[in-house]
Chains A and B, each alone.
Chain A
Amino acid sequence: MEGAKRTAFWIGMTFVIAAAPFLGMEAYTVQIFTLAGIYATVALGLSLVLGNAGQISLGQAAFFGIGAYVTAQLMLKVGLSFVVALAAGGCLAGVVGISLGYLALRFQGHYLAMVTLCFGLIMQIFFLQVPALTGGAAGITDIPSPQLFGSAVDNSPGSWCKTFHLAWFLFLGMAWFLSNLLSLQTGRALAALRDNPIAAESLGLNVSKHKVQAFAISAVLAGLAGGVYCVHTHYIGPEIFGVGASLEFLIMVVVGGLGRPMGAVAGALLLTVIPEFIRAYEEYRLLIFSMVLMAVVLVAPEGLWGLVTAVYRRIKSAFSRESETSE
């Protein structure tokens, strides 16, 4: 995108997000879309690791959990404001992400999948078995809403700044950061090291540094999303941050389109909205998700957003050909 067009896009998105919940959306719909925004942020980070850095992570829910627990406890036990607690949650997730990133350098492919899967399992056991920090199996309840100028930020009909805004503005800000990175050195470097790591290293790229950075960024995004999640639901517990959640994030990214920020939105929306229609069949949730995944992989291997851009391009070229022949 050109500079001016790019700026217009981000400003436009800001207005859309600010106005959306006031345009006749039902309160329940606002809740669902808030959750979709939170998941989209996690998917955005995972998409960087999976699509751009070419590595797999099956433990993303652990970072989501770290962010949620740290934010909740700092607000409840220490009495910090939401913003400070959220920042701390994101930072801690990032630090853990860097550690896992260094560990991940030693493994590839299936082995990396196993290592990150085990990391996710270990963190879930930690959330369950260290009640002093995490509230154990009972989890943490009564997490307060953030305060802004004396009024609560939540999705109740009266509030002018909603959790919806929190979730989607976080996503928008992070998507802006990532699109900046991907359009400059980092994007080129990641593409180069995925194409040919030996050549990349021989031209001066520190392959390890870039991989760890990608892991760290994805962890920070998941951590921040977790922080917003805990003030959205007001409750967190270990069952939320298991392998199932990690898999759902993975499915969102693949269904939406690897390495595409807008794909994260598409995947998160689809996989948050579908369950609302299939509430009666809750136990078949992962089965249905898997079927969606298989359908997408077969029909649109580049994900939903890849499909959208391909169709758009074809229509555009058809139009330009038509105008050429008419001239």
Chain B
Amino acid sequence: MSILEVEDLSKNFGGILALLDVSFEVEPGSIFGVIGPNGAGKTTLFNCISGLEPPTRGRMRFKGAALEGMPPHRIVRKGIARTFQTARLFLHLSVLQNVMVARHIHSRSTILYDLVRLPRARREEQACRDDALKYLEMVGLLDLADKSADQLTLSQARHLEFARALATEPKLLLLDEPCAGMDEREREALLDLLTGIQRLGVTLMVIEHDIEFVVNLCTDLLVLNFGSPIARGRPEEVQRDETVLAAYLGDELG
């Protein structure tokens, strides 16, 4: 059974069609790439799946359960995490605290335990810290744990977002342009990190402009153009697809 099923998904912003009848399925364990020209509706698709924007029409099912109408914080608890095109860090918190926030959904302490610092509250706080450190180590930011999040480089900020998203223990991870702003060496390291995450049993969906990166990473591709899917398949098939070439290069060249 596929982990995510999207059926006839449409999203209008006023008169603008951001998504039109998008349908696809994501197989568990795959790395599913979403590509397309600017304004094709890729980020809108992620926003719909993660609950930030309600779809105008259509259905989304995660492991068989309907997602539409669910608020983002409940979708995370179901097992879908995401990162953003421009990293959205908590700039007044430390790097470690940024990840600890993402561990809250796994804490068994409540406000009543915390109020008087009962043993459970202290135990959960310690566990929260230890787990967060584990995820920082995974993305290679352990040395920066106590640094303020506003002092990170672009690439470090992205890695902190990966650590945060992973700390929620997702089954499906949505990455919106993970290697934007990274140099060649950093992209190669990222490729290893993401395949490593896949081996942990996390299904990945990736929006990316760098075609070479996508072809090396992804097992499946979906191509959007003006909100509609124009191709779907394995990377090497999609690369030869004439409509895709036309959409990217323009009709006269294709």
In the complex, which residues of chain A have a beta carbon less than 8 angstroms from the beta carbon of B10? none
Contact check, A186 vs B168: say whether CB atoms are below 8 A apart. no
Q: Which of B72, B116, B117 contacts A202 (CB 8 A)?
A: B72
Q: Assess whether A196 is interfacial by the CB under 8 Å rule.
A: yes
Residues of A within 8 A of B125 (CB): 184-185
Bound form: Cα–Cα A49–B24 in Å: 44
Checking A192, A205, A213 against B111 with a beta-carbon cut-off of 8 angstroms, the contacting residue is A213
| Contact yes or no, B114 A189, CB < 8 A | no
Contact of A201 with B72 at beta-carbon distance under 8 Å, contacts A181-B111, A185-B104, A186-B114 already known: yes
Minimum distance in angstroms from A7 CB to a CB of chain B: 10
B202 an interface residue at 8 Å Cβ cutoff? no
Known A-B contacts A189-B101, A199-B84; A205 and B73 likewise in contact (beta carbons under 8 Å) = yes
Of residues 143 through 197 on chain A, the ones whose CB sits less than 8 Å from some CB of chain B are 177, 180-181, 184-186, 188-189, 191-192, 194-196
- One of A185, A191, A198 near B107 (C-beta < 8 A): A185
- Residues from chain A with a CB closer than 8 A to the CB of B91 are 195-196
A203 within 8 A of B: yes
- For residue B92, which residues in chain A have a CB less than 8 angstroms away from its CB? 191, 194-195
Let me know if B115 and A204 touch, CB within 8 A: no
Tell me if A198 and B109 are in contact (CB < 8 A). Answer: no
Number of B residues contacting the other chain (C-beta, 8 Å)? 36
Shortest Cβ distance from A150 into chain B, in angstroms? 30
- Known interface pairs A192-B101, A202-B82, A203-B76. Does A184 touch B109 (Cβ–Cβ under 8 Å)? yes
- Chain B residues whose CB sits within 8 angstroms of the CB of A201 once the complex forms: 52, 71-73
- In the bound complex, how far is the Cα of B90 from the Cα of A192, in angstroms? 5
Q: Are A188 and B93 in contact, with the CB atoms below 8 A?
A: yes
Chain B min CB distance to A73 (Å): 28
Interface of A is mostly: helix
For residue A129, CB closer than 8 A to chain B, the reply is no
Q: B172 to chain A: closest CB distance in Å?
A: 13
| CB-CB contacts below 8 Å: B65-106 with A | 71-73, 76-77, 81-82, 84, 88-93, 97-98, 100-102, 104-105
A195 to B97, CA, bound (A): 13
Q: Does B42 contact A (CB under 8 A)?
A: no
Instruction: Tell me whether A204 and B71 are in contact (CB under 8 A).
Output: no
Taking CB atoms, residues of chain B closer than 8 Å to A191 are 90, 92-93, 97
Please indicate the chain A residues that have their CB under 8 angstroms from the CB of B84 in the complex.
198-199, 202
- Binary per-residue interface labels of chain B (17-44) against chain A in the complex, 1 for a CB within 8 Å, 0 otherwise: 0000000000000000000000000000
- A206 vs B164: C-alpha distance in the bound complex, in angstroms? 16
Q: Is the CB of B116 within 8 A of A203?
A: no
Tell me, rounded to whole Å, the shortest Cβ–Cβ distance linking A299 to chain B. 23
Interface centre among A185, A202, A205 (most CB of B within 10 A): A202
CB-CB under 8 A from A192, the residues of chain B are: 90, 93, 98, 101
Contact present for A184 and B101 (CB under 8 Å): no
Which residues 142-181 of B sit at the A interface, judged by CB distance below 8 A?
164-165, 168
Closest to A200 in B: B101
Q: Answer yes or no: A75 CB below 8 A from chain B CBs.
A: no
List 10 tightest A-B contacts by C-beta distance, closest first. Answer: A204-B105, A199-B88, A204-B76, A195-B90, A184-B114, A203-B102, A201-B72, A192-B90, A192-B101, A196-B88
Q: What are 22 sample pairs from A and B whose C-beta atoms fall under 8 A apart?
A: A177-B115, A180-B116, A184-B121, A185-B111, A186-B111, A188-B97, A188-B104, A194-B92, A195-B90, A195-B91, A199-B84, A199-B88, A199-B89, A201-B73, A202-B50, A202-B52, A202-B73, A202-B82, A202-B84, A202-B88, A203-B76, A204-B73
